Structure 1
Amino acid sequence: MATTPPAALAAYTPDVAAVGDSLTTTALLGLAPLATFFLLLMAAKRSALHSALGALLTALLVAVLGYGMPLRLGALSATQGAAFGLFPVMLIVVSAIWFYELTVVSHRFDDLRRSFNAVGRGDLRIQAMLIAFCFGGLLEALAGFGAPVAITAAMLMALGLPRLTSAVTVLVANTAPVAFGAMAIPITTAGNLTGIPAESLAAVIGRQSPLLALFVPQLLLFLVDGRRGLRQLWPIALATGTVFALAQFWCSAHFAYELTDVVAALAGFGAAVVMLRFWTPTTPDDQRSQVTAEPLTRRRTFLAVLPYLLVIAVFALAKLDIGGLDIPGLLGSLTVQLDWPGLYGNLLAPDGSPAGSAVYKLEVLANPGTLLLLSGLLVMLIYSRAKDADRFPMTARSGLSCAGRTLRNMRTAIATVATVMALSYVMNQSGQTLAIGTWLAAAGGLFALLSPVLGWLGTAVTGSDTSSNALFATLQQTAGKTAGIDPTLLVAANTTGGVVGKLISPQNLTIAATAVERPGTERILLRKVAGYSVAMLAVLCVLVYLQSLPVLSWMLP
């Protein structure tokens, strides 16, 4: 009798009818890890890390006992996912937050904040809109993960806005920029998981999220001062939102998509500054800003803005082909590509070939995290040599100390993201996501109408559009292929749907309540913002559905 080679014994091919030869049963069992995650997080009130660990264990049990995946391959899938969660995902996030923290430890951030405060001709409502929307968008672009909500809420409170109004305003403002947050890491993650070029996803998202940017500034005026604020200041809100939206649209498809929010935030702010030179707002006495501070010199203002201009320049340079010098090709030449040991060759595609998902790839130099680290080093060098360096100290020691502190402060977030990515890889490579997507695709063309809801749910529960894409991007892709809908559109819709789920996530609500020194008011904040979240979600659902049809398919690249 012939014996089966050991390698063949370990081979595994995902099957959408692995449980009882039934697609429905297989898909419902595949939902168990997601149900575990949500129940632990929401019902049991466990931390995101503990919830993700519980869901990961459940996914492994489902893969091994339900789908017949060898335990060794399931464990290897988890290690590959965790590695991807660390590099490049958290490398980008940690680098972005460190870059932002450099402006804080150098005390230049105070000048930047005062630059925003000085704009608006003394109108508190304009200042609140610009800080929450434009400056919040800039912080979302570089840091994300709750930092924009915490920082801008405290700034609005310092302007004189009521505490809960400040919290609600920044929660609503933290919507339009989220898809491109933390150097567009939600999009990069979705692209890596699905194999769809991140640039293609960004271009589609750039035809969806700008619709929110058009109207969010006007909604912020309404939140701050009701109908009066909207009636008196709608021109500048419209100008700010329109320029922000156009910059998002253009940058997402024609520039470095990682910089979309940086460019959009600066462009929106610039539009407001220019408009205020030619248009004077009607400002009632009760809406005049009470903030006073010494005038800023042009030099200090320039140095405060310099880091953000510098990061744009670095990322732009990394995308250019100058005089025959192919910089993207040069940076991309140093790329780590690894057939994941023990997994590649044993995890098989339906045609029997090695599954491409078992290949780990990391661009070392072209990675946004590396470019951010380079930008941070340049900022340290420029600040340390500035003429006023004695007043705004920046040394190599303080910069490195800041990096170490950022790593320590983010250790739980790092572990959480790595675990969520491990969960995602186990679900994807065992076939759980494939079964769920194939099952949901039975809705046919109507699935496009429901697609953003998955992203909204994922972000609302996890507090992260990146985590939502880790959970659902491959599912959306599978459903799209089966239902005959463009997978790129649905994966983009998952990201855009997550944008409006951010403002009702428990994580963001807690951050906002804490920032305005009203802990325990999360339920009050939820009641105030839930309606806006659902309304914006409904708009996105209709938009995506129409984009899947000839009615609005012309909008897509």
Structure 2
Amino acid sequence: MKWTQVIDPFNAIALSVLVAAVPILFIFWALIIRKMKGYQASLIATVMAAFIALLVYGMPVKLAVLSFAHGALYGLFPICWLVIMAVFLFNLTVKSGQFEIIKHFMASITADRRLQALLIAFSFGSFLEGTAGFGAPVAITAAMLVGLGFNPLYASGICLIANTAPVAFGSIGIPITVASQVSGIPELPISQMVGRTLPILSIILPFYLVTIVAGFKKAREVLPAVLVSGVSFAVLQWFSSNYLGPALPDVIAGLGSIICMMVFLRFWKPKTVWRFANEPAPTFQTDRSYTGGQMLRAWSPFLVLTIMVIAWGMPPIKEVLNAVGQVQFEVPGLHNAILSEEGVALPKVFKFNFLSAAGTAILIANLVVIPLIGLTYREGLKIFGATLNQLKFPVLTIAAVLGFAYIANDSGITLTLAAALANTGFLFPFFAPVLGWLGVFITGSDTSANALFSKLQFATAQSIGVDPVVTVAANVSGGVVGKMISPQSIAVAAAAGDLVGKESQLFRFTVKHSFIMLGVICLITLTQAYVFQWVIPTYELLIAQKTAPVTDLSQGYVYLLALAVLLIALASTIRFVSNRRAQKPTLVN
């Protein structure tokens, strides 16, 4: 069976766009007005998209069913696999009692909720985005803030909003790598262009976050710390993206801003410690301190997590893991069965990279840390079962959302919306980020949005005389502000923040901020295209695909051996310092 996609089924682009937008408009209505549960809204939107694909676009029933199944399968693995492992890690930390020590440590840096939000949601979340990505940063940081005593809605909401700054460089720069492969523009100029857009947002974002949490007046009280956080992050993000490439900006900027904040707060404190008006009286005891060994043990889950996800992102290790533990197959009945409007067959291949997936790295981290934090594997298994029960509805939501995304993409619904924006002519640079925003809203992934629209961005920019790197980078940058309202991201944040069934509240919390930030990026892109053209880097297109060198797996095995030695050394150190001194707090007279 062969079927060709249709971009304008009514031969009237305005009418086609109106019909294509129905499922997306429904999601907005269901979550904002109807206040529907996330999994219900996602399932209904999927049914609507399927009916439009079948009745309007003429997609065969078999292909629609297979497309939904392909998307749902991708939602389960690797996305749900990663989310489950990330939440499991946090639950282990809480159940073992180690999170109480972490809370004490954070309060020892600052008990102020405004600054805790910056350290965890903004800086630590950025670091996690750079290493793991795909939902892990929001899942972990939202759970940490809730554990510290934040209102669950604020915790999940600000973590979603804070996640905008690093998304473009997430997972060791994968979104930009994909944009490069699809558009034919080298990675570095795209990284440079994004790195000359997002730092503007990164400077503003910390103050914006604190204003959301505490109001404008209270945000001004911590302006010095806010500036240290935002400026240090933005400068490091700009430098690394422009001179080191797309792989490390989040890691460097996230760690750098944490260090700068910790140093600054040793010399400066806000006049008053701000906490939520309705939260319980603080339980932090100033006469309690913990040894270095206790602190190392408490932070060991996140330390091991960091080591594992960085290692799993290294190409030599990834190549070994894929060579040993990856099953790749063409989706039966769907592979090459759909033709683009130009007649090109669309490959549909599922990669089950069960070893190199980030979720597997977190699983190994979990197995390593269970004995380190004082739990048995039997107890860990019980906690894992409770985690699965906690996440049953988010897993259903994510699978439904990805099924919806794949039907929308394969039927041509998404391309109809993109074609309308591409017809805006001179104003296209203003609307270019909207394409990225739309792609991330539908798929939940900046990587997927870049795979969808980078070629369209390139061709449209060339046709109107604008440098294509501007619009391709705009697709990346615009996508980051769509992440906070993507149903997939909402489901992940709701699960981590104990808001399952209340996704509509979280969506209403973030949606206006998404539009505000999108507007800012649209204006920046427009000025870059026509006014500040000196910010555009010079580059040469990738003329031809380079021949892939023969892979030498020996380096990957050496890296894995080094990783094993590092983990054994770390585990031994933690066990040694823990056994030297009982895990009891020392009271200071």
Cα distance in 1 for partners of 2:165, 2:113 equals: 28
Kindly indicate whether residue 40 of structure 2 is the aligned counterpart of residue 28 of structure 1: no
Kept in 1, the 8 Å contact 2:179–2:454? The answer is no
1:108-507 to structure 2, matched below 5 A, reads: 108-120=98-110, 126-127=115-116, 129-130=118-119, 133-134=122-123, 143=136, 148-149=141-142, 151-152=144-145, 155=148, 171-172=157-158, 174-178=160-164, 184=170, 196=182, 208-219=197-208, 233-246=222-235, 248=237, 264-277=253-266, 279-281=267-269, 283=271, 291-293=284-286, 294-320=288-314, 326-333=316-323, 334-350=325-341, 352-356=343-347, 358-381=348-371, 383=372, 393-453=374-434, 467=444, 476-477=453-454, 479-484=456-461, 485-486=468-469, 488-498=472-482
Q: Structure 2 CA distance, aligned partners of 1:228 and 1:430? A: 49
Matching of residue 39 in structure 1 with residue 23 in structure 2: no
Deviations 1:482-528 (A, max 9, x none): 5225564243134222256589x99899999998xxx99969x979x
Cα distance in 2, alignment partners of residues 255 and 304 from structure 1: 34
Deviations 1:225-262 (A, max 9, x none): 777766664333322223334555577795995x8767
Q: Is the 8 A contact 2:86 2:359 kept in 1?
A: yes
TM-score, structure 2 normalization: 0.71
Cα 1:398/1:309, change in 2 over 3 Å: same
TM-aligned CA distance change 1:394 to 1:189, over 3 Å: farther
The answer (yes or no) to whether the contact 1:441–1:482 under 8 Å persists in 2 is no
Quote how far apart the aligned CAs of 1:409 are. 1.2
Q: What 5-or-longer segments of structure 2 have no aligned partner?
A: 276-281, 462-467, 541-589
Structure 2 vs 1, CA of residues 64 and 457 (structure 1 numbering), >3 Å: closer, same or farther?
Answer: closer
Answer whether contact 1:448 1:544 (CA < 8 A) is retained.
yes
Q: How far off is 1:342 after superposition?
A: 0.9
Q: Structure 2 vs 1, CA of residues 556 and 369 (structure 1 numbering), >3 Å: closer, same or farther?
A: farther
CA 194–26 in structure 1, closer or farther in 2 if over 3 Å, else same: farther
Shift of 1:341: 0.3
Q: Deviations over 1:520-554 (max 9, x none)?
A: 9969x979x88766543332222233445535333
Alpha-carbon distance between aligned partners in 2 of 1:373 and 1:199, rounded to the nearest angstrom: 31
SS in 2 for 1:414: helix
| SS of 1:337 mapped into structure 2 | strand
Deviation at 1:340, TM superposition (A): 0.9
The alignment of Structure 1 onto Structure 2 pairs a total of residues equal to 513
Q: What residue number does 1:543 align with?
A: 524
* Equivalence for 2:543: none
Gaps of 5+ in 1: 1-9, 158-162, 384-391
Q: Give the letter for the 1:292 counterpart.
A: Q
Deviations along 1:339-395, one digit per CA (max 9) or x if unpaired, are 110112322244545312x222232322111111122222224x1xxxxxxxx5311
Q: Which amino acid aligns with 1:152?
A: L
Q: Is the 8 A contact 1:77 1:343 kept in 2?
A: yes
Equivalence for 2:58: 68
3-state SS, counterpart of residue 319 of structure 2: helix
Report which stretch shifted further, 262-271 or 226-235.
226-235
**CA RMSD for the aligned pairs?**
4.6
How far is 1:473 from its partner? 5.8
C-alpha contact (below 8 Å) 1:94/1:407 kept by paired residues: yes
Measured in 2, the distance between the counterparts of 1:362 and 1:33 equals 29
Residues 260, 369 of structure 1: CA spacing in aligned structure 2 closer, same or farther, 3 A cutoff?
farther
Q: 1:450 to 1:304 in 2, by over 3 A?
A: farther
Instruction: Note closer, same or farther for the CA distance 1:331–1:187 as it changes in structure 2 (3 Å cut).
Output: same
User: Do the aligned partners of 2:118 and 2:229 also contact (CA within 8 Å) in 1?
Assistant: no
Shift of 1:186: 13
Hey, what does 1:554 align to over in structure 2? 537
CA distance in 1 between counterparts of 2:311 and 2:493 reads 38
Find the aligned partners of 1:554 and 1:411 in 2 and give their Cα distance: 47
Residues 335, 363 of structure 1: 8 Å contact kept: yes
> Cα–Cα, structure 1 residues 226 and 112, in superposed 2: closer, same or farther, change >3 Å?
same
Name the CA shift for 1:237/1:65 in 2 (closer, same or farther; >3 Å).
closer
Distance (Å, rounded) in 2 between the aligned partners of 1:512 and 1:344: 35
Report the CA distance shift for 1:281/1:471 in structure 2 as closer, same or farther (over 3 A).
closer
**Conserved? CA contact 2:195–2:237, under 8 Å:** yes
1:312 alignment partner, SS class: helix
Structure 1 residue 453 displacement after superposition: 4.7
**Separation in structure 2 between the aligned mates of residue 436 and residue 221 of structure 1, nearest angstrom:** 35
Displacement of 1:14: 0.8
Note closer, same or farther for the CA distance 1:399–1:135 as it changes in structure 2 (3 Å cut). same
Q: Taking structure 1 as reference, are residues 264 and 167 closer, same or farther at Cα in structure 2, changes over 3 Å only?
A: farther
Report the secondary structure of 1:292's partner residue.
coil
1:100 aligns with 2:90: yes
Counterpart Cα distance in 1 of 2:456 and 2:28: 22
Distance, in Å, in 2 between the alignment partners of 1:372 and 1:251 is 26
Write the distance in 1 (CA, Å) between the matches of 2:338 and 2:455. Answer: 18
